[in-house]
Amino acid sequence: MIRQETLAHARSMLFVPGNRPDRFAKAAVAGADAVILDLEDAVGVEDKDTARQHVAEYLRDGHPAVVRINAAGTPWYDDDVAMVARHPCAVMLPKSEHADALVEFTRLLPDTPVIPLLETATGLMSAHALCHAEGVVRAAFGNVDLAAQLGIDPGDHQALVTARSTLVLAAASAGIAPPIDGVTTSVHDDEVLVADTDHVVGLGFTGKLCIHPSQVSAIRSAFTPLPESVRWAHDVIAASDEGSVTVLDGQMIDKPVVDRARSILLRTDLS
């Protein structure tokens, strides 16, 4: 099973359709911090059972992965839950809207790390409760589904800034890792990918979902602290004294600034 620490600090998570076992091994060596074997949107109704079997075989052979199961209330949910119970792994729960559903899932699989995917208006309005639910390691943002519900362009940064910031605040309030952003659907447009990633870095996200291996490198790079940020963090730590306030290059250095510096160095160490 993927360690919770790995999930909490993952900068890139790569989706792979569960009905394409020929791609599982390729995804595992693509450089992403975690691979998500998808039983939901990437798999047609006619392939749901076959995809579940492929994923079970992959997990049974000892390969670490996150599994995005089908949403609660769908015809495939119970079978998906039974499969991940037999083959322990981290689980992404799509269409997460109500904390009660997470509580019930955790009751059934108490040792399973959970990533709720918030991709509806109801889910975002419930972000505080969802992020505080037991078993939740980190939350993820479903920009494409939410944009479709709202009738807006999923690539419009301004239109979704409130939703994204709501999730960042909910995660911070719950004391869990900052959230992971949704996908960039422009697979071969590096400029769009970089712009999308830089935008969410500025909002407080620390990772992003990928739909193609070619996106992994740019995403990992964008979420890795720049050398000048690392130098600043080292200088802050060196200048600080626990419980006291000092000044560095004209900037007040107190506990919140030191905490930010330590966060930067932690992400650097995990690179």
Q: pLDDT tens across 171-218, in order?
A: 999 999 999 999 999 998 999 999 999 999 999 999 999 999 999 999
217 and 235 part of one domain: no
75 and 182 part of one domain: yes
DSSP secondary structure of 83-148: HHHHS--EEEETT---HHHHHHHHHHSTT--EEEEE-SHHHHHTHHHHHHSTTB---EE-HHHHHH
Ligand-binding site membership of 119 (annotated): yes
214 and 245 part of one domain: no
- Please report, for the domain that includes residue 87, its CATH number: 3.20.20.60
Its pTM stands at 0.89
How many other C-beta atoms are found inside a 10 Å radius of the C-beta of residue 185? 15
Mean of the per-residue pLDDT values of the chain: 92
Ligand-binding site membership of 49 (annotated): no
Identify the DSSP state of 11.
S
DSSP-H helix ranges across the chain = 4-9, 24-28, 48-60, 77-86, 99-108, 121-125, 127-132, 143-150, 161-174, 190-203, 216-222, 227-239, 255-269
The arithmetic mean of pLDDT across residues 60-66, rounded, is 96
10 and 120 part of one domain: yes
Ligand-binding site membership of 181 (annotated): no
59 and 175 part of one domain: yes
Structural domain for 214, as ranges = 4-222
Looking at the 3D structure of the chain, how many domains does it have?
A: 2
111 and 143 part of one domain: yes
76 and 208 part of one domain: yes
101 and 114 part of one domain: yes
Q: pLDDT tens across 151-165, in order?
A: 999 999 999 999 999
153 and 242 part of one domain: no
203 and 78 part of one domain: yes
